[in-house]
Structure 1
Amino acid sequence: MLRPSLLRSDTQRDTHSYYEASVVRPPALPPLHGTQRADVVVVGGGFSGLSAALELTERGRRVVLLEADRIGSGASGRNGGQAIVGYACGMAPFEAQLGREAARQAWALSLQAVDLIEERIQRYRIDCEWRRGYLYVADRPRKARALRQEMESLERDYGFATTWVEGDAVRQYVDSPRYVAAAYEAVSGHLHPLRYALGLARAAQEAGTLLHEHSPVRRLERRGPRVQAHTDAGVVEADFAVVAGNCLLPEYGPGVLPPRLTARIMPVGTYILATEPLSPERAQSLIPCGAAVCDNNVVLDYFRLSADHRLLFGGRVSYTTMTPPRLRATLQQRLQAVFPQLAGVASTHLWGGFVDITMNRAPDFGRVEGNVYYLQGFSGHGVALTGLAGRLVAEAITAQSERFDLYTRLRHQAFPGGPWLRTPVLALGMAWHRLRDALG
């Protein structure tokens, strides 16, 4: 069992986030006080909750959104900013569990998820530094073979073409001696995630959503056919609830979802280092294609350039809920292994926090007792998929649920070991994967 406030306090996210430092937040929204009635109550002010609230409000529903901290204070406001097509699990679970036709539908939805980001940015005039382009890289021959097989499978089975390069040609895309092969595609992209979250919140408010910050939901209760969301100082009674609290939910509100559902996700700490601003020419020379970059190791490095020409580099994870020791030095070493030419460049920001993963890395969407919907298990692919999830749950509540139900058909398991042992079991398993990656 996690000790109180572990996921909120034992991370670098409050130390020095580049994203927080590069925005001006609006004044805090008032906490919920007293009783309110709504058609839908949304729990969580990240991408998925904001997306659901915006979509539902625009469909004519009265929506109240309750955020335990500040809008975008969880994974949505501190992630790597990479909006990626597909799923963290790949397409294999969809194919094996749902069949090839349903898998193709799921793939098409993942493409729509990225397009939805661009659609919302344009429609709601969200200044979040959006840019298309994504580069998958491999740092050794075995990984290159696996990456090429994956890209060939996507083109053969899903019609998704990438540009393949290897050897010296890789440096036309990313100027690093580390990588032996790469695949480039122009569909995925990257953005400033906190700016995007705040833009969604503004759009939802302008549409008519009522947003409350510092309003953690402690429990959901049935009241006849309706549901009540209880905070420390108020209650929202609604026909439907959308729960989008992810891995922080059990800590803030252990009575919100049944334990059998929260046991299906685990928190994984992920951390990012930002360099000092580089000259535009030097920054462009690092990633000439301008894409977000990610390798295909189990414990991976991912990085991109910011609009003010910093390198934002993520490459350290924690499966124990504890902040890794010597975090800044470790990330600096990993960064310089990728870009030796940045030796001596200072880092100015270091931050991180927790994302939720499922056992099979597939998203976990569903409903409880008919009118409580939940969205969890984005497993590191949430920047794009969360927005789609919000749209699909709004469809399910207001019109038809066929697209939402595609995901509910995926089967999930609780992590082994129960509340006491599942974290060390996961950490041990990932240590084995790290060793395998290191051995090539």
Structure 2
Amino acid sequence: MSEAAYPPSWYAASAMPLPQQPALEGALEDADVCILGAGYTGLSAALDLAEAGYRVVVLEAQRIGWGASGRNGGQAIVGYGCEQSRLEGLLGQEAARVLFDLSREGMDLLRARIARHGIPCDWRDGHAHVPIKPRQAHELRAGIVEMAQKYDYPLQWWDRRRLRDELESDRYLGAVYDPASGHLHPLEYAFGLARAALGAGVRIFERSPVVELVRGNRPRLRTPHGHVAADFAVIAGNAWLRGVAPELESRVMPVGTYIAATAPMGEDRARALIANDMAVADVNWALDYFRLSRDHRLLFGGRASYSSYPPPNLRGVMRRRIRAVFPQLDDLPIEYLWGGYVDISLNRAPHWGRLAPNVYFAQGFCGHGVASTGLAGRLIAEAIGGQSQRLDLFAKIPHAPFPGGRALRTPLLVLAMAWYRMRDALW
């Protein structure tokens, strides 16, 4: 696929082309629902709503899957960006259990959509969280017991020797292996959702940034060259939302994260590197995460940035991080290097709900959006259809704005992250 419409990445270079959709010109007054954002959340809600008989319009500022949905690490993990203990503290054990079971439903929905719509997105089963420090190993093993006792969720502990059978690295002390999680080609999955939505009658307009949300009995989303009026609006802009809903923007922080794709290493070498083709992530605050591509590259992510600029010497930094995990790959050059934003909430819990009785939103996926975005879209569609109980539970999670406003929130977060990186290094 031509990369011109998307930031250069291995995903953009390897995805099956999707025809460009028109830009919005003029007024549309016949929609039941208008959705801002053609990423996983918006497309998932659009698909469910169209299949329920609603007339749905999606407005996308760039191209389908242009943001985090088309650039992320591809790791689909049960759960949310925060630990279950955080949800227990915010809502109590019973509600936390319901939320966790919903995250499992989100994973089932992801798999079902891939199968039902024949989405060629390279799905692979299996994910491992790996500790580097003894403290981390102890916490992970305790977490396995807690997840089994409180949440009836089976996880496997692999000691160092067992992990070494699957992963050709001496860096880690073991692994928590989850066979129910996995990984995929993010942009191909976004394209697959879009094809399904278009087939269900959804109208998608690309190159149509929303510049204003006009609230009222029939909310209106205005673009530079037109507007859409509908009975309901859905805001699914996440980290790229700008000036449309300030009360949402203040409650998430766009954080840059980066991915390198090496040159292909060949099938035999790739199978020796990660024998079972699982995805892997360490448990540092500033984590590394990696997996194999279908053409036997290593896709390696990490190195967060809290400004709008990539870190200096990013290629050299990524090479050093890869070498720390896989010194045997020192001969492999990096052929692709790209980044994007994830939307982090202050408590790292999902931020989903309503701005008004007819305006819905979902954000705050905190790097765990591959599966939970589909769940968010489904719950919003249910609420528009009159069944809001499940979305209402998420709306009860309290969310505070980042301190400091636009001017100071980034420096304050940088200081906090420096503390967590020091903690990772010392303990």
Q: Using the TM superposition, give the Cα deviation of residue 97 of structure 1 relative to its aligned residue in structure 2, in angstroms.
A: 2.2
Residue 95 of structure 1 pairs with residue 95 of structure 2? no
Q: Using the TM superposition, give the Cα deviation of residue 93 of structure 1 relative to its aligned residue in structure 2, in angstroms.
A: 2.8
Task: Give per-residue Cα distances to partners, 1:120-175, cap 9 Å, x unaligned.
Answer: 01111110001110111001211111221222211121111112122332211211
Residue 241 of structure 1 pairs with residue 228 of structure 2? no
SS at match of 2:157: strand
Equivalent residue number for residue 201 of structure 2: 208
Residue 298 of structure 1 pairs with residue 285 of structure 2? yes
Aligned-residue sequence identity (percent) comes to 53
Q: List gaps (5 residues or longer) in structure 2.
A: none
Decide which of 310, 316, 328 is 1:323's aligned counterpart. Answer: 310
Task: Give per-residue Cα distances to partners, 1:318-375, cap 9 Å, x unaligned.
Answer: 0123210110110111011101111111111101111100001000011112110011
SS at match of 2:33: strand
CA separation in 2, counterparts of 1:165 and 1:123? 33
Equivalent residue number for residue 196 of structure 1: 189
Task: Give per-residue Cα distances to partners, 1:359-403, cap 9 Å, x unaligned.
Answer: 010000111121100110000000000011000000000130111
Equivalent residue number for residue 174 of structure 1: 167
> What is the CA RMSD across the aligned residues, in angstroms?
1.2
User: Within 5 Å, which residues of 2 pair with 1:135-146?
Assistant: 135-146=128-139
Equivalent residue number for residue 43 of structure 1: 36
Aligned length: 422
Tell me the amino acid that sits aligned with residue 157 of structure 1. K
Q: Using the TM superposition, give the Cα deviation of residue 406 of structure 1 relative to its aligned residue in structure 2, in angstroms.
A: 1.0
Contact preservation (8 Å) 2:82, 2:349: yes
Contact preservation (8 Å) 2:64, 2:191: yes
Residue 57 of structure 1 pairs with residue 44 of structure 2? no
Q: Using the TM superposition, give the Cα deviation of residue 16 of structure 1 relative to its aligned residue in structure 2, in angstroms.
A: 3.0
Contact preservation (8 Å) 2:34, 2:58: yes
Equivalent residue number for residue 20 of structure 2: 28
Q: What TM-score, normalized to structure 1? A: 0.94
Q: Using the TM superposition, give the Cα deviation of residue 94 of structure 1 relative to its aligned residue in structure 2, in angstroms.
A: 2.1
CA separation in 1, counterparts of 2:65 and 2:247? 26
SS at match of 2:178: strand
Contact preservation (8 Å) 2:6, 2:63: no
Equivalent residue number for residue 82 of structure 1: 75
Decide which of 120, 126, 133 is 1:133's aligned counterpart. Answer: 126
CA separation in 2, counterparts of 1:313 and 1:184? 19
Q: Using the TM superposition, give the Cα deviation of residue 15 of structure 1 relative to its aligned residue in structure 2, in angstroms.
A: 5.6
Residue 120 of structure 1 pairs with residue 113 of structure 2? yes
Equivalent residue number for residue 421 of structure 1: 408
Q: What TM-score, normalized to structure 2? A: 0.97
Equivalent residue number for residue 354 of structure 1: 341
User: Within 5 Å, which residues of 2 pair with 1:270-309?
Assistant: 270-309=257-296
Equivalent residue number for residue 6 of structure 1: none
Equivalent residue number for residue 297 of structure 2: 310
SS at match of 2:215: strand
Equivalent residue number for residue 66 of structure 2: 73
SS at match of 2:372: helix
SS at match of 2:106: helix
